[in-house]
Amino acid sequence: MQKLQVIFLQLVKRFLKMIRPLLPKSLERFYRAYRWSRPLVDRSQVYLLAEQSFLPGYSPRLLPGSSAESAHSIRVSLIATCRNEASTLESWLDSLSQQERLPDEVVICDGGSTDGTLEMLRRRAASFPVNLIVLEAPGSNIARGRNLAIQHAAHEIIACSDLGCTLRPDWLRRLVAPFELEAEIALSAGYYEALQTNTISRLAADLFGVHLEAVQPQAFLPSSRSLAFKKSLWEQAGGYPEWLTDAGEDTLFDYQLKAQPARWAFVPEARVSWRTPDRLFKLLRTYARYARGDGETGIAAELYWYKTVEVTITYSRRLLLLVAGAALTALFWPAGLLYWTAWMGLTVLSLHRDNQEHSRRLGVAFFPYTLLLDWLGVVQMLGFAAGVRNRGQVQQRQVQHYQAQLRRILQNNQPSKGVIVYPPTHDWAFMFQRPHQMARAFARSGYLYFYCTANERTDAVFGFQHIEPNLVLCHVPLETFKILEKPIVYLGSPWNRQYLEHFSQPCVIYDHYDDLQVSGARPEDHQALLREAKIVLVTAQGLQKSVEKQRPDALLLPNGVDYDLIQSLQPKPGACPPLDWPLGDESSPVIGYSGALAAWFDYPLMDYLAKARPAWRFVLLGVDYDGSLPESKLLENANVHWLGMKPYPELFSYLWRFAVGVIPFRVNEITLATSPIKLFEYMACCLPVVSTALPECRRYPGVLVAEDPAQFLEMLDKALAARLDPAYLETIDQVARSNTWKRRALAVSEKLSACWATQQK
């Protein structure tokens, strides 16, 4: 079958390539959407917590036995949703009231019941052992109901279950035990098993169930039937996705949770039993609904594509056999009769062989499992396709959801100067650079700043997250900002010109801070922004010269420094160095570099310096941006230490311990137009600076510039002597004070005010 699938895929690719010019664009877009698969980014650390080892290969951290009589150190809110659950409500509440460890409150959100569920809830609430809060939200889907219940919950630990489940008496005790054992645990994933009452429900359990012996805790995606988490983790993950139609919210929420760097516990003994579909029509409808949810989210798209290939191969083969049989019957009647007899016999034998194991597991003498799987495969394929077709509507609902949040942010934050939106270029937590610093400076000067991230490297943002006053980190569709009136759109890359269509009458700032060779941007986008942008910023004189014909008004705005922050991070006398700080003779100076290690870094120069001064220590801080570091063989020098990239505040516990800060860049077209941020950061740390012959470094007093490796070594000797020169230290300190990000933001703000004043005349 796998060989047939490979051959079929190759044929499909060739066929699509041949007819692609003839295909309608809508069909091509649908195919691409069908094949797009949502990636799973897993930053979680999952531990198995159990009273005994359930899974081969896993040594569990042991949970204690019954603690029903012990005092509980945490308080728990149990949340659930319902709509027309009158038939299951009583049994669920009974199983909840019989828990060995009761929740501290119960919050249930009703989505608009018409069968008496609400009346039953209110009646039981009056005598329930703990506070039972009933919320009414007619028309809300499950995700919306859960989010509302969590918002109303009083406690940090949130436990979840469904009213269609039966809770084991020890379920909640076991589920919340990890939070009591380890304060760092942010999520506890329980287990769920299916109630099997007839053949169809046993089949559903076989299809939908997760067999415990096959579970890999790290890869397990928990269900909200048996789940607990900290409310703070729910907020970081953006809450349950309310914009999906009626399925898939659990899995997408799991994806968002998995992206967060958090510690999880898998507790297989915290179990609930849930009712599976027990009628064939309900089973087919549930299967289609789940597949539609996956189609809307793009989760497991590869599996659905292979299912599509498998179904297509199966039915194509059967169609060919039927056509061949019909032709043989029409032309040669006796041979045709023999063909049909053989075909029926082989089909029955095949069904019997394929169904033996499944029939035994389902507890029946014979069940056409394989044939039903074929039907379910078709249902899956059609359901997934329907979900893919729904994505436009789903995204529109998602945009409306985030626009409602955006309106609330605008109501609660009245900026004195305006609203700025920065479309995504850099993750917030990766290489804190000019875009991040300008965002902070603008927010601190009175603008409401939305910094968009693509979640490409380190970020895991879903929705809006306030990280500082007036500074909001966000990952939302750019259409969300359509409701803003004449926003300031700050573009850090020509690639982002495509996003301007999502804004209403934007005032565009184009920050041309990289040579096009670095950004890889299209020249036509760059040229268009030079024409269209209200304000053009350039970071270096070389860049200013390249745009002066089209934009003589371009504002030269070099990089800057957060002087006050760096000064506040100076280590106190006698403070211990970071754990990975290279040991050595305190009399041997540390020559340090902070920044990306890439093709523009002069590795031969650093190799020359390390070999010329073997007693010195050379420390490199930063990411290996393009994989050039191992190829350089620089680390073969025993006195060269690469400590990797450091979070921005931690960076300065290293920089303050340097003796000299260096900028060893090759001199080429890229670096000729570079304004190194590290230059001002070194100076703010009172470090002498030695640089290769970069024009932007020559501009500032106190920078020792070298034309060749021998002179660079000579300048290092001078820099070490300059550390004891008060006049020199005063010079570089004054350069740092005069080049702060606050001053940079103020210059742009003044330019904006001038533009608006001119426009109003």
In this predicted model, what pLDDT tens digit does every residue of 347-371 receive, in sequence order?
A: 656 655 655 565 655 555 555 666 6
Q: How far apart are CA 475 and CA 260, in angstroms?
A: 14
Q: Is 567 in the same domain as 544?
A: no
Please enumerate in sequence order all residues whose Cβ is within 8 A of that of 352, keeping only pairs 6 or more positions apart, or say none: 366
pLDDT at 759 over 90: no
Q: How far apart are CA 192 and CA 176, in angstroms?
A: 16
For 416-463, write each residue's pLDDT tens digit: 789 999 999 999 998 899 999 999 999 999 999 999 999 998 999 999
- pLDDT score of 353: 60
For 93-104, write each residue's pLDDT tens digit: 999 999 999 999
- pLDDT score of 276: 84
- pLDDT score of 761: 46
In a domain, 385, yes or no: no
* Mean of all residue pLDDT scores within the chain: 88
pTM: 0.88
- pLDDT score of 69: 41
In a domain, 355, yes or no: no
Q: Return the C-alpha torsion angle 246, 247, 252, 257, nearest 10.
A: 90
Task: Report the pLDDT averaged over residues 195-209.
Answer: 79
pLDDT at 670 over 70: yes
- pLDDT score of 70: 42
In a domain, 284, yes or no: no
- pLDDT score of 213: 80
pLDDT band at 519 (very low <50, low <70, confident <90, very high): low
Structure tokens at 697: 């470094």
Q: Which of 219, 254, 278 is the last residue of a domain?
A: 278
Q: Is 178 in the same domain as 156?
A: yes
pLDDT at 757 over 70: no
Q: In a 3-state reduction of DSSP, which class is residue 746?
A: helix
Q: Beta strands of 354-487 (E only): which ranges?
A: 418-422, 447-452, 463-468, 471-475
* Domain span holding position 544: 393-556
Which of 74-78, 92-96, 279-283 bottoms out in mean pLDDT, i.e. has the lowest? 279-283
> Which amino acid type is present at position 206?
D
In a domain, 455, yes or no: yes
Within 223-368, where are the H helices?
A: 231-236, 249-258, 280-297, 301-331, 333-362
Task: Report the pLDDT averaged over residues 2-11.
Answer: 62
- pLDDT score of 4: 58
Q: Is 398 in the same domain as 531?
A: yes
- pLDDT score of 355: 58
Please enumerate in sequence order all residues whose Cβ is within 8 A of that of 592, keeping only pairs 6 or more positions apart, or say none: 618, 619, 620, 621, 654, 655, 657, 658, 659, 660, 661, 662, 687
Q: Is 448 in the same domain as 581?
A: no
Task: Report the pLDDT averaged over residues 112-128.
Answer: 92
Which of 183-192, 312-321, 554-563, 720-729 bottoms out in mean pLDDT, i.e. has the lowest? 312-321
- DSSP labels, 27-85: HHHHHHHHH---------EEEEEESS--STT--PEEPPS--TTSPPSS-EEEEEEESS-
Q: How far apart are CA 140 and CA 112, in angstroms?
A: 8
- pLDDT score of 67: 44
Please enumerate in sequence order all residues whose Cβ is within 8 A of that of 73, keeping only pairs 6 or more positions apart, or say none: 180
In a domain, 446, yes or no: yes
- Contact (CB, 8 A) for 179 and 198: no
Q: List the one residue out of 216, 163, 164, 160 whose CA is nearest residue 190.
A: 160
- Per the rule left: phi > 0, alpha: psi between -120 and 50, beta: everything else, 729 is alpha
DSSP 636: G
Q: Is 434 in the same domain as 578?
A: no
Task: Report the pLDDT averaged over residues 716-720.
Answer: 96
Q: Is 398 in the same domain as 525?
A: yes
Q: Is 112 in the same domain as 90?
A: yes
Q: Is 602 in the same domain as 543?
A: no
Q: For the chain, what is the domain count?
A: 3
Q: Is 70 in the same domain as 91?
A: yes
Q: Which of 278, 299, 326 is the last residue of a domain?
A: 278
For 581-628, write each residue's pLDDT tens digit: 987 777 789 999 999 999 899 999 999 999 999 999 999 999 998 899
- Whichever domain contains 605, its CATH number is 3.40.50.2000
> Which amino acid type is present at position 422?
Y
Which of 103-107, 205-209, 409-413 bottoms out in mean pLDDT, i.e. has the lowest? 205-209
In a domain, 629, yes or no: yes
Q: Is 573 in the same domain as 542?
A: no
Q: Is 500 in the same domain as 569?
A: no
pLDDT at 288 over 80: yes
pLDDT at 278 over 70: yes
- pLDDT score of 374: 74
In a domain, 223, yes or no: yes
> Which residue has tokens 């005994």?
52
Q: Is 532 in the same domain as 504?
A: yes
pLDDT at 305 over 60: yes
pLDDT: which is higher, 526 or 54? 526
Q: How far apart are CA 513 and CA 477, in angstroms?
A: 25
Q: How far apart are CA 159 and CA 226, in angstroms?
A: 8
Structure tokens at 720: 């070490």
- pLDDT score of 68: 41
Q: Which of 249, 278, 307 is the last residue of a domain?
A: 278
- Contact (CB, 8 A) for 85 and 117: yes
pLDDT at 250 over 80: yes
Q: Beta strands of 370-458 (E only): which ranges?
A: 418-422, 447-452
In a domain, 240, yes or no: yes
For 327-342, write each residue's pLDDT tens digit: 767 666 676 666 667 6
Angle at 135 between CA 229 and CA 119, to 5 degrees: 125
pLDDT at 313 over 80: no
**What percent of the chain clears pLDDT 70, i.e. is strictly above it?**
87
SS (H, E, C) 125-147: HCCCCCEEEEEECCCCCHHHHHH
pLDDT band at 272 (very low <50, low <70, confident <90, very high): very high
Q: How far apart are CA 582 and CA 356, in angstroms?
A: 65
> Which amino acid type is present at position 27?
L
Taking 3-state DSSP, the helix, strand and coil percentages for the chain, each rounded to the nearest 5, stand at 50, 15, 35
